[in-house]
Amino acid sequence: MTHATRSLRQAYRELPWRQQLRRLAWALAAIVIVTSVVLLEVHFSTQNIVLGSEWQRTRRRILATQNENLVLESRLAELTSRQVLLSQAKEQGYRPVSPEHVHYVPVPAEAMPAPAVPNIPEAKLSPRTDDTLPEAYTISLIKWLMYDFFLVPEP
Amino acid sequence: MPDVRTVPRPDESLPLAEAPQEHFPLWRYLVMLSVVLVMGLTVIARMVVLQLEPIEGLAPEGGYQEAVAVPRGMIYDRDGHLLAGNQERYQLDIHIKTIPESLIPQVGREVAQVLNVDAERLVGILLAEKGKNTENVQVSKSVTEVQREQLETLAEDWVYLDAEGNRVHPKDPLSFVPHMVRFYPEGDLASNVLGFVPPLSDSGVGGVEEYYNDLLKGGTRWVSYAYAPWNMTDKKDEKDVKPPQPVSLYLTLDRDLQGEAEDVARKAVEDTKASSATIVVADPHTGAILAMAQYPRPDVRDPDKLAAFLEQWQAYNFAIGRPYEPGSVFKIVTMAAALDAGVVEPDTTYMDTGQFRVPGAVFFNWDRRGRGEQTMTGCLQYSLNTCLAWVAYEKLGSERFYGYLQAFGFGQPTGVDLSDEAPGGYRSAFDPPPARPNEIGWSLADLAAQGFGQAIFVTPLQMVVAASAIANGGYLVTPHVLSFEVLDGYRYAYRPDVQRQVISEKTSREMRKMLADSLQSETKRALVPGYSVAGKTGTAQIADQTRGYVEDATNASFVGWFPADDPQYVIYVWLERPKTSPWASVVAAPVFAEMVQRIAVLEKVPPDKVRHSLSAAQP
């Protein structure tokens, strides 16, 4: 470092107002950094609140629709119950058959129809994929500071 | 680039050294700092408020949580016909605070008329509550949609005169809060299997409703919604692990088959004047129960009738809850055990003198006649008590006999997925001696009697399981009514549970042939034209309270399967105390035949001739 440079630095340091400015700058920088981080935190939190409440509303609508469907399904089942169908069939002149009234005609290469199975996909038996995010992505900054950085014991 | 050497010394005046006060006073910096500080602190304070302050209406632990009313899971038959669903009902509150006392009698009477309750009582309650200055009176929790519409129409005409003589409508006199209740669209069909859910409850009682209550139950669930990143992880506590929606169950029962079996049971009771009838139809290979009918059945829609039913019968489902001495149907178990143990062959002979003596007891045939020399097939054909007592007592012996009984699952629950299953029971040589002198312990007479189905208590379902093992090649399968469950749109199937092999394939083949042959020649009422069937009748005496047997009452049973050479359906029939005839061959065998006919039509089972030609045509 040259003498001139040293002199300049010395002069700069010796000026009290510059010192004050520097401290102010540090303080400002600290506040700006903290505020930025907090702003981000608040931003994401509020966004999540909005999304969460939207989810909540959607879920309520889904549940209400599901309940409505269940009630309608029960009503439909009542209207098509065995007793109702039997009485309607009797009214229309149908009568029960016994095995001797049924004629089977073997058709080559045709198998007997398999019983109908409700069309519901079978669940995969492989273990469920874990949709839990790692803690590093989900822990709050505050909790990270408290529990991981300052090692405050978790409640 | 200035030459540094020309820079003045520090004590000299420099342009840089000008005091900031001259161009940018320090106060401005302080103001700026204060502004930023205030903004920053505001943001931080906001964050603290958002993150740490509980939000009104939400749980303080963070995250959205709300109570959601979840209806109870549905129950379907194997084809997807709804057997148990949900219906909307309303809780009716009368806001008596808004109704003047002069109007209450009219309100009470009209509400009582619509709800079909005692009007005077309701009016009395309303007036009493009005006197106490109560705001609301809850009148009912099961108001239907139709009743609600009627009440709302009536409420429009409720008026009273105020102090100035104006006609005034009471403000919101009624409130209706909706909620879900259990509903059985098929009425009492399979009510003995399904069980029921008492009004205003979410806990099933009896049958499937009770056994699978944890899966089916709805009620109020807490649903969590994440609103902050750190709440997005799934908590692993019990509350969150439970599925958010109840599970729907698809049973192995077939609605139409169940209905037919119930019709046949009702008809059997009417025809034979029996006190009850029970019919079970099952798949012998998987243990799937296709129908489990009984008559009478509990009527879950009428609490009074239901209570009377339970008081009379002491059981909800006769097929699993009322063990009885099965009589000769049990001979198939004794014979299968003896064949499997190798102590007899189908053509082993027995000289029947009409009685068989053991120390302390003499056993006779059902008609007290002796039939001379008989093969084992003949013993089954003529249902000889003496022969099967001889097989159990002399050929098998207690160790082997009770070993087989245990292997067949007698004296223990079958493990069917229905609540309140009775284990049945019997005295055996391995029981501890009686603890008290007046108690009766096991004796050799028990062994001989158990050989032909007395001195042993079994449920119809235990007999179905044993017959299935005999028919299917010797494998004891756990009976079940659950076919699969559906959660979040996916099915989770029940896997048939083969517990163990009880008898060999060879024994199973021999038994199938013996039972088909014996039926052909002796119990013609069980036969169905075009179809081969195998089975055994059973007429059992009924024990009374005095350790003896009732004189004029029997339990008539039939166990069998069809087609005889390729068993697909095991059928069990139990008629309790038939009056027209005590004999199972007269009253129970036709019921079996009737069931075979109905199953053949419903399940499209072709006659043997067609079936064999189809099998021959297949490569």
Show residues of chain B in contact with A81, CB under 8 Å. Answer: 185-187, 189
Residue B314 burial by Cβ neighbours in a 10 Å radius (0-12, 13-18, 19+)? exposed
B586 Cβ neighbours under 8 A, 6+ residues apart: B525, B556, B580
Identify whether A12 is part of a domain: no
**Which residue in the set A70, A97, A137 is minimally distant from B85, CB to CB?**
A70
pLDDT for the residue B353: 92
Q: CA of B212, closest CA in chain A: separation in Å?
A: 19
Q: CA of A14, closest CA in chain B: separation in Å?
A: 10
Q: How far apart are CA B519 and CA B377, in angstroms?
A: 10
- The 3-state DSSP class for residue B290 equals strand
Identify whether B320 is part of a domain: yes
Identify whether B137 is part of a domain: yes
Identify whether B9 is part of a domain: no
Residue A1 Cα to chain centre, angstroms: 61
Q: Which of A24, A40, A45 to mutate to test the interface with B (most CBs of B within 10 A)?
A: A45
Q: How far apart are CA B567 and CA B408, in angstroms?
A: 18
Show residues of chain A in contact with B26, CB under 8 Å. Answer: 17, 20
Q: Which of B87, B227, B264, B611 to mutate to test the interface with A (most CBs of A within 10 A)?
A: B227
Show residues of chain B in contact with A99, CB under 8 Å. Answer: 528-531, 597, 600-601, 607
B187 Cβ neighbours under 8 A, 6+ residues apart: A81, A83, B301
B375 and B517 within one domain: yes
Q: Do the chains contact at B529 and A131, CB–CB below 8 Å? A: no
> What number of CA atoms fall less than 13 Å from residue B69's CA on the CB side?
12
Tokens, residue B69: 């009313």
Of B77-86, B365-374, B380-389, B505-514, where does mean pLDDT reach its minimum? B365-374
B472 and B376 within one domain: yes
Domain that holds residue B457: 315-418+442-480+497-617
Identify whether B296 is part of a domain: no
Residue B331 burial by Cβ neighbours in a 10 Å radius (0-12, 13-18, 19+)? buried
Q: How far apart are CA B35 and CA B142, in angstroms?
A: 63
Q: How far apart are CA B483 and CA B207, in angstroms?
A: 15
pLDDT for the residue B235: 44
pLDDT for the residue B320: 96
Tokens, residue B43: 């943001």
Q: Do the chains contact at B43 and A35, CB–CB below 8 Å? A: yes
pLDDT for the residue A59: 74
pLDDT for the residue A21: 75
Q: How many CB atoms lie within 10 A of CB B82?
A: 24
CB of B281 closer than 8 Å to CB of B257: yes
B269 Cβ neighbours under 8 A, 6+ residues apart: B275, B276, B277, B295, B296, B575
- Which residues partner with B349 through β-bridges? B375
Q: Do the chains contact at B491 and A121, CB–CB below 8 Å? A: yes
Query: Before B563, cis peptide (omega within 30)?
Result: yes
Q: How far apart are CA B293 and CA B486, in angstroms?
A: 25
DSSP code of B510? H
Query: Before B296, cis peptide (omega within 30)?
Result: yes
Q: Is the pLDDT of residue B64 over 60?
A: no
Show residues of chain A in contact with B486, CB under 8 Å. Answer: 120
**Quick one: pLDDT band at residue B4, thresholds 50, 70, 90?**
very low
B468 and B354 within one domain: yes
**Quick one: pLDDT band at residue B7, thresholds 50, 70, 90?**
very low
B333 and B241 within one domain: no
Q: How far apart are CA B559 and CA B424, in angstroms?
A: 18
Report the share of chain B in percent with pLDDT over 90. Answer: 56
Q: Is the pLDDT of residue B8 over 60?
A: no
Question: Which comes out higher in pLDDT, residue B619 or A51?
Answer: A51
Identify whether B15 is part of a domain: no
Buried b or exposed e, range A59-85, using 16+ CB within 10 angstroms = beeebeeebeebbeebbebbeebbeee
For tokens 């009766």, the residue is B440
Question: Which comes out higher in pLDDT, residue B575 or B224?
Answer: B575
Identify whether A141 is part of a domain: no
**Quick one: pLDDT band at residue B587, thresholds 50, 70, 90?**
very high
What sections of B252-384 are H helices per DSSP? 255-272, 303-313, 318-321, 331-341, 376-381
Identify whether B303 is part of a domain: no
Using CA coordinates, name the residue in chain A closest to B487: A123
Q: CA of B592, closest CA in chain A: separation in Å?
A: 14
Q: Do the chains contact at B489 and A120, CB–CB below 8 Å? A: yes
pLDDT for the residue A143: 74
Of A145-149, B5-9, B315-319, B385-389, where does mean pLDDT reach its minimum? B5-9
Q: How many CB atoms lie within 10 A of CB A25?
A: 12
Tokens, residue B51: 């993150």
What is the helix, strand, coil percentage profile of chain B, to 5? Answer: 40, 25, 35
B480 Cβ neighbours under 8 A, 6+ residues apart: B252, B287, B288, B289, B416, B417, B494, B496, B497
Domain count, chain B: 2
Over residues B208-224, the mean pLDDT reads 81
**Quick one: pLDDT band at residue B452, thresholds 50, 70, 90?**
very high
| Type of residue found at A150 | F
Using CA coordinates, name the residue in chain A closest to B82: A77
CB of B355 closer than 8 Å to CB of B364: yes
| Type of residue found at B205 | V
Residue contacts between A and B (CB atoms, under 8 Å)? 212
- Which residues partner with B224 through β-bridges? B65
pLDDT for B147-178, tens place per residue?
999 999 999 999 988 888 888 889 889 988 88
Q: How far apart are CA B137 and CA B99, in angstroms?
A: 12
**Which residue in the set B17, B32, B528 is minimally distant from A99, CB to CB?**
B528
Q: Do the chains contact at B610 and A123, CB–CB below 8 Å? A: no
- The 3-state DSSP class for residue B546 equals coil
Tokens, residue B430: 């391995």
Identify whether B280 is part of a domain: no
Using CA coordinates, name the residue in chain B closest to A41: B47
Tokens, residue B333: 């178990």
CA distances from residue B493 to B78, B284, B487 in whole angstroms, order as listed: 12, 18, 11
**Which residue in the set A11, A41, A98 is minimally distant from B17, CB to CB?**
A11
Which of B459, B413, B456, B414 minimizes the C-alpha distance to B431?
Answer: B456
Q: How far apart are CA B550 and CA B587, in angstroms?
A: 19
B245 and B319 within one domain: no
Show residues of chain A in contact with B530, CB under 8 Å. Answer: 99-100
Tokens, residue B403: 């070993």
CB of B349 closer than 8 Å to CB of B336: no
Q: How far apart are CA B313 and CA B276, in angstroms?
A: 10
Helix (H) or strand (E) holding B56: none
Q: How far apart are CA A115 and CA A1, in angstroms?
A: 95
Q: Do the chains contact at A7 and B10, CB–CB below 8 Å? A: yes
Show residues of chain B in contact with A120, CB under 8 Å. Answer: 484, 486, 489-491
Q: How far apart are CA A10 and CA B341, in angstroms?
A: 111
Domain count, chain A: 1
Instruction: Identify the domain boundary among B231, B249, B267.
Output: B249
pLDDT for the residue B242: 45
Over residues B54-83, the mean pLDDT reads 71
The domain that holds B458 is classified in CATH as: 3.40.710.10
Q: CA of A13, closest CA in chain B: separation in Å?
A: 11
Instruction: Give the residues of chain A that fall short of pLDDT 70.
Output: 1, 12-13, 20, 52, 112-118, 123-141, 155
| DSSP code string of chain A | --HHHHHHHHHHHH-HHHHHHHHHHHHHHHHHHHHHHHHHHHHHHHHHHHHHHHHHHHHHHHHHHHHHHHHHHHHHHHHT-HHHHHHHHHHTT-----GGG------TT-PPPPPP----PBPP-SPPP--PPPHHHHS-HHHIIIIIIS-PPP-
Q: How many CB atoms lie within 10 A of CB B213?
A: 18
pLDDT for B491-535, tens place per residue?
888 888 888 999 999 999 999 999 999 888 777 899 999 999 999
Average pLDDT, chain B: 85
- The 3-state DSSP class for residue B467 equals helix
Identify whether B389 is part of a domain: yes
Using CA coordinates, name the residue in chain A closest to B531: A99
Q: Do the chains contact at A121 and B489, CB–CB below 8 Å? A: yes
Identify whether A43 is part of a domain: yes
B349 Cβ neighbours under 8 A, 6+ residues apart: B373, B374, B375
Of A21-25, B234-238, B609-613, where does mean pLDDT reach its minimum? B234-238
pLDDT for the residue B225: 54
Q: Do the chains contact at A140 and B70, CB–CB below 8 Å? A: no
Q: Do the chains contact at B87 and A74, CB–CB below 8 Å? A: yes
CB of B489 closer than 8 Å to CB of B360: no
- Which residues partner with B373 through β-bridges? B351
For tokens 């102010």, the residue is A24
Residue A18 burial by Cβ neighbours in a 10 Å radius (0-12, 13-18, 19+)? middle
Using CA coordinates, name the residue in chain A closest to B80: A118
Of B9-13, B91-95, B142-146, B380-384, where does mean pLDDT reach its minimum? B9-13
**Quick one: pLDDT band at residue B13, thresholds 50, 70, 90?**
very low
Using CA coordinates, name the residue in chain B closest to A5: B4
Show residues of chain B in contact with A32, CB under 8 Å. Answer: 36, 40
Domain that holds residue A54: 36-95
Q: Do the chains contact at B74 and A5, CB–CB below 8 Å? A: no
B447 and B579 within one domain: yes
**Which residue in the set B68, B528, B606 is minimally distant from A63, CB to CB?**
B68
Q: How would you classify residue B383: left for phi > 0, otherwise alpha for psi between -120 and 50, otherwise beta?
A: left
Show residues of chain B in contact with A140, CB under 8 Å. Answer: 51, 228-230
CB of B374 closer than 8 Å to CB of B335: no
Helix (H) or strand (E) holding B135: none
Q: CA of A34, closest CA in chain B: separation in Å?
A: 8
Q: CA of B208, closest CA in chain A: separation in Å?
A: 18
CB of B84 closer than 8 Å to CB of B209: yes
pTM value > 0.80: no
Q: Do the chains contact at B47 and A41, CB–CB below 8 Å? A: yes
pLDDT for B291-336, tens place per residue?
999 999 988 878 888 888 988 888 899 999 999 999 999 999 999 9
B324 and B221 within one domain: no
Most confident of the ranges A6-10, B65-69, B188-192: B188-192
Over residues B202-214, the mean pLDDT reads 92
- The 3-state DSSP class for residue B287 equals coil
Backbone angles phi, psi at B546, to 5 degrees: -100, 25
Q: Do the chains contact at A102 and B601, CB–CB below 8 Å? A: yes
Sort strands B75-76 and B248-251 into parallel, antiparallel or unpaired.
Answer: parallel
Identify whether A78 is part of a domain: yes
| Type of residue found at B199 | P
Over residues B409-425, the mean pLDDT reads 93
